[in-house]
Amino acid sequence: MNLLLTGGTGFIGTHLVKALAVKHNVHILLRSNLNVVLPENVHSFLFSNNINELNEYIIKNEIEGVVHLATLFVAQHQPEDIKDLILSNIYLGTAILEALKGSKVKWFLNTGTIWQNYRPNCRRYHPTNLYAATKQAFIDMAAYYVETSRLKFVTLKLSDTFGDGDTRRKLFTILKEASTTGETIQMSPGEQYIDILHIQDVVSGFMHLIQLLNDNIKLGNEYVLAARQRYTLKEIAALFEKVSGKKITINWGGRPYRQREIMQPWKKGKILPYWQASLSLEEGIALYLKTK
């Protein structure tokens, strides 16, 4: 199957591309001429905001499915971030949908976030921050294209992720670094619960949903991937120490909670059918620590 993937050079994307390339003909959309080494037989298209050119590429290469991973994450935005958030999280996806006209694309797999649902026990949309608002805004834009075509549009919402090759300044990167340097980490009080998945389970979720879409299984419009168990930040740090065998010095309360900190992850999302995380958090940490 011919697939077009955005965000293919990011953390999740690099892992997913490798998995998809085993059975599918993968094309990666790039926004800039990055000096990246792609897996064998993976193609790339440099999108220069020419939607007609992208449309021609999609039709010529008989693209049948789109996986949209590209995003700009900003936890607490500044005024100068607004334009880039809109261009990355709303414009890009909308441009791709426009470029699908007249093509053989049957489905569009969008990546969302549980940050679109700040209130844990409410099914309705409540954005945690402006980033989450832009992710929801794209879904609203996509509704027009779904209404005016036969395109199947499904959003897979993610929580936190970690694993090998993750260069983001995220929790496990910081913990691993501190376990080596011995430096003190300034943390919030640490009572917030976190839903976090190893990249192996994230990729398996995407692969499973792509298979369901290819098999034309009747699906809803939105699903989530969730870990086996949710832990507080303090519990995660303790588990990391246990698995690594190294003491980490943390100043709990050394920094305040973020504005609209998610203390309890969203509980009302529908888990992707016939899928569950294969790794416990402890197993995921052990696997993560084996990588360089």
Per-residue pLDDT for the chain (292 aa), expressed as one digit of tens each? 999 999 999 999 999 999 999 999 999 999 887 777 888 889 999 999 999 999 999 999 999 999 999 999 999 999 999 999 999 999 999 999 999 999 999 999 999 999 999 999 999 999 999 999 999 999 999 999 999 999 999 999 999 999 999 989 999 999 999 999 999 999 999 999 999 999 999 999 999 999 999 999 999 999 999 999 999 999 999 999 999 999 999 999 999 999 999 999 999 999 999 999 999 999 999 999 998 6
What pLDDT sits at residue 14? 95
Q: Look at residues 39, 29, 23 and name the one whose alpha carbon lies nearest to residue 67.
A: 29
Helices 171-181 and 281-289: crossing angle in degrees, nearest 10, is 60
What pLDDT sits at residue 32? 81
Q: Look at residues 127, 107, 131 and name the one whose alpha carbon lies nearest to residue 117.
A: 127
- For the chain, the farthest-separated pair of C-alpha atoms sits apart, in whole angstroms, at 58
Contact 205, 272 (CB under 8 A): yes
Task: Give the integer Cα–Cα distance in Å for 33 and 201.
Answer: 30
Contact 233, 170 (CB under 8 A): no
pTM for this model (two decimals): 0.96
Contact 226, 271 (CB under 8 A): yes
Tokens of 260: 């609209």
Task: Give the integer Cα–Cα distance in Å for 165 and 114.
Answer: 23
What pLDDT sits at residue 104? 96
What pLDDT sits at residue 292? 64
